[in-house]
Structures are given as C-alpha cells and as structure tokens.
Amino acid sequence: MMTNSNSQETASRTSAQPENAKQPVLRAPNLDDAKAVHALIKASPPLDVNSVYVYLLLAHHFTDTCVVAELNNEIVGFVSAYVPPKSPDVLFVWQVAVAENGRGFGLGKAMLQNILQRPHLSKVRFVETTVGPDNAASRGMFASLARKAGTEIHETALFEGHHFGEQAHEDERLLRIGPFSQK
C-alpha cells in the first residue's frame, strides 16, 4: 500500500477482470494532468464540468488529497477531495470519475481508499460528500466504502436546487460516512 502521497500504487485486480488485465497506477495529480482530468470529467455526466483552471488548482494546492489513475499514459480515473479548514477529521470528496469502459472493476473505491490510507491524513475519521437523488453508482460506491470499513452513512439535506440559482441542478444531499478507525 501507499507510503506517501507521491508514491505510486497499482489498483488491485477484481474478480470481474481477466488475470492478465493491466492495472491502473494510482498517484497524486500534477499540473500536466489537469487537461486530461478536465476531459475525463466532461465525459462523465452527471458531474459538473469545471474549468481547466480549477483542475490546475486542485493539482497544485490539493494534490495530497486528490488522486489520478493512469493506464497506458491515459488518465482513466480521478478523485478530488480536501480537508475542510474547520474540520480536520473530515475528508470531503468533491468529484469522482472513472472512464466509462473502466467502471465496475473497483477503481472508484480503490481511489478513495488510496487517499484515506495516506499517512498525512491519519486524523481523518469521516468522509463527507454530496450526491444527487438518482446517482445510483455514486451511492453504491460510498455504501460499499462504508460497508468495507464496517461503519455507517448518515444522509442529510445540504445544497438544494434553489441554491444553484438559475442553473437547473438537482438537490445535492450530504452523506457523512464514519467513523473510520484510527490508523
């Protein structure tokens, strides 16, 4: 497993994949990844597409809490996350994307676990994220993360449609998962 945020880890094979399937390498993003991450997000509805500049900022300031999955020199997965300034025991997960043909093999969950295992995040006890009401894949992934850690999910209202102004947007409900055990 990962020993620091700059080291690389290969996502583990799942039973759904052939034994000789090449595994993506999981690593912290750098500035050169921002354009490809932007393209991946654009190809991953229902995620909001932010500017390339936002992904540059994430790779620059938040690289220690983000991850990319790289396979054959292509970015096939991405998670953006950060520790909220007033909640040092929380990892807030913003966007998770896996390239369409790589879904269902455990990569989304592996990327989340990759971040949670980083030594500098040893104070993190809870994962928070927001999900739309109908995003079954996202809900399934976070439910699986909670199950695997033997912990619970609490769901409450957070961002409601009207908060997004004129942009038509579904409610984004807060999922709080934890507590995760101490590392």
- Told to check if 96 binds ligand COA by CB under 6 A, we report yes
Q: Which of 5, 55, 91, 108 binds ligand COA (CB under 6 A)?
A: 108
Nearest to 38 by CA among 68, 10, 62, 63: 68
Return the number of the residue (101 or 182) whose C-beta is nearest ligand COA. Answer: 101
- Told to check if 109 binds ligand COA by CB under 6 A, we report yes
- What is the spatial distance between Cα 86 and Cα 90, in angstroms, rounded to a whole number? 9
Binding mask 130-149 for ligand COA (x = CB under 6 A): -----xxxx-xx--x-----
Asked if 106 and 160 count as a contact pair (C-beta separation under 8 A), the reply is no
Binding mask 41-80 for ligand COA (x = CB under 6 A): ---x-xx---------------------------------
Asked if 141 and 108 count as a contact pair (C-beta separation under 8 A), the reply is yes
Asked if 84 and 121 count as a contact pair (C-beta separation under 8 A), the reply is no
Stretch that binds ligand COA, among 5-13, 64-72, 104-112, 167-175 (CB under 6 A): 104-112
Asked if 37 and 75 count as a contact pair (C-beta separation under 8 A), the reply is yes
- What is the spatial distance between Cα 149 and Cα 34, in angstroms, rounded to a whole number? 31
Binding site for ligand COA (CB under 6 A): 44, 46-47, 95-98, 103-109, 135-138, 140-141, 144
